[in-house]
Amino acid sequence: MNFVQERKRMVEEQLIPRGIKDSLVLAAFRKVPRERFIPREHWYETYGDFPLPIGEEQTISQPYIVALMTENLKLKGEERVLEIGTGSGYQTAIIAEIVKEIYTVERIVSLAQRAKKTLEELGYTNVETKIGDGTEGWEKFSPYDAIMVTAAAARVPESLLKQLAINGRLIIPIGNLYSQELILYQKKKRGLKTTNYGGCRFVPLKGKEGWR
């Protein structure tokens, strides 16, 4: 397996033709070794155009969805970001390549521990991980310039909106347990602006302000 070549091909064939054009996002995808976040038995399909299982009935998202969500946060480099649903830690690494600080919360202990280890091994020093219910956010380091939720909810958790800075952007899949739409909320002084980025399918966001 030539991971370097496959990574390059993923960017050229899956991301650029579908309209991903932010140079910071594309550079992050060219750099982060996705194979390090994938169980060995799935290595042969690491750079496939689909999600993959990571254990505990959870998944690492399709590369294009990771790129689409990241691009729409419009990150420039100086931001403090909150991610809910660390999973494998791949999305965390992509964001860590771009911004100053990222805080990430995962509710499943084994996944959180493995992601932390992988991110440390890869040398990320701007990532803080936490085990807990991310529907309540991570108040200590708020407000956040951007928030990404990588699990599906029926509605956006109030705590997350509260912890978002004015002019901040929050992206989350909203819908039922089987299908959702990717919704971007922009917090303005007077209310929220929403943009719909189309259909998607995520595992459920479970917790106090998510699915019970």
- Residue 81 contacts ligand SAM per CB under 6 A: no
**In whole angstroms, what is the distance from residue 121 CA to residue 32 CA?**
12
- Residue 60 contacts ligand SAM per CB under 6 A: yes
Sole binder of ligand SAM in the list 47, 144, 185, 202 (CB under 6 A): 202
Of 51, 39, 28, the closest CA to residue 115 belongs to: 39
* SS3 assignment for the chain: CCHHHHHHHHHHHHHHHHCCCCHHHHHHHHHCCHHHHCCHHHHHHCCCCCCEEEECCEEECCHHHHHHHHHCCCCCCCCEEEEECCCCCHHHHHHHHHCCEEEEEECCHHHHHHHHHHHHHCCCCCEEEEECCHHHCCHHHCCEEEEEECCEECCCCHHHHHCEEEEEEEEEEEECCCCEEEEEEEEECCEEEEEEEEEECCCECECCCCEC
Q: Pick the closer one to ligand SAM by CB: 46 or 88.
A: 88
- Residue 175 contacts ligand SAM per CB under 6 A: no
- Residue 61 catalytic? yes
- Residue 168 contacts ligand SAM per CB under 6 A: no
Identify whether the C-beta of residue 59 lies closer than 8 Å to the C-beta of residue 52.
yes
Q: Contacts with ligand SAM in 20-49 (CB under 6 A)?
A: none
Sole binder of ligand SAM in the list 14, 46, 61, 118 (CB under 6 A): 61
Torsion of Cα atoms, 156 then 157 then 162 then 167, to 10°: -20
Q: How far is the CB of 191 from ligand SAM (least distance, A)?
A: 26
Catalytic residue selected from 23, 61, 142, 159: 61
- Residue 124 contacts ligand SAM per CB under 6 A: no
Sole binder of ligand SAM in the list 98, 101, 134, 144 (CB under 6 A): 134
Sole binder of ligand SAM in the list 32, 108, 183, 184 (CB under 6 A): 108
Sole binder of ligand SAM in the list 14, 32, 34, 58 (CB under 6 A): 58
Sole binder of ligand SAM in the list 85, 168, 173, 175 (CB under 6 A): 85
- Residue 84 contacts ligand SAM per CB under 6 A: yes
Interface contacts to ligand SAM, rule CB under 6 A: 58-61, 84-85, 87-88, 90-91, 105-108, 111, 133-135, 150-151, 202-203, 205-207, 210
| Positions marked catalytic | 61
